[in-house]
Amino acid sequence: MNANLLKGNLDLILLAIIEPSPIYGGEITREASERTNGYFDFKEGTLYPALHRLEKSGFIKGSFQYLPRGGSPVKFYELTESGKKELSDKRREQQAFDQAMSALLGKS
């Protein structure tokens, strides 16, 4: 996978994965990988700074919780209201970009 293609799309992807229900870091990576047949494989140095960025911007909110199976507590993230708006904005933005790309490349 070309790393640069991810730039500018990572936030959108994370917001979209978090949207349905609270989820923590490791599960986000697994979800992204499974749903794309291994195409996406977020590294920790990619995922965690991005989550912090989103939290700092107020788009997501995290809280540590214990899993039923024990172990260390994990940080569950969920969308804030502002995050929901950001998600739909970014979806639109991405569609506009896709459309422009198609106009240049010719959809084939």
Partner DNA sequence: TGAGAGACATAGGATTACGATGTCACTATC
Partner DNA sequence: GATAGTGACATCGTAATCCTATGTCTCTCA
Which tokens go with 24?
């923590």
Q: Which does 16 bind (CB under 5 to 8 A by kind): a copy of itself, DNA, none?
A: a copy of itself
Amino acid at 28: I
| Nearest CB to a copy of itself, comparing residues 35 and 52 | 35
CA distances for 81 relative to 17, 60, 70, 84, 90, angstroms: 15, 9, 31, 5, 14
**Closest distance between a copy of itself and the C-beta of residue 60, in Å?**
16
Q: Which is nearer to a copy of itself, 20 or 73 (CB)?
A: 20
Binding residues for DNA restricted to 66-95, rule: CB under 7 A: 70-72, 74-75
How many whole angstroms from its chain centre is CA 7?
12
Binding residues among 5-44 for DNA as defined by CB under 7 A: 6-11, 24-27, 42-44
- Which three-class secondary structure string do you get for 34-73? HHCCCCCCCCHHHHHHHHHHHHHCCCEEEEEECCCCCCCC
Rounded to 5 degrees, φ, ψ at 36 are -120, 20
Residue 72 touches which of a copy of itself, DNA, none (Cβ within 5-8 Å per kind): DNA
What residue ranges bind a copy of itself (CB under 8 A)?
1-9, 12-13, 16-17, 32, 35-37, 39-40, 91, 93-94, 96-101, 103-105
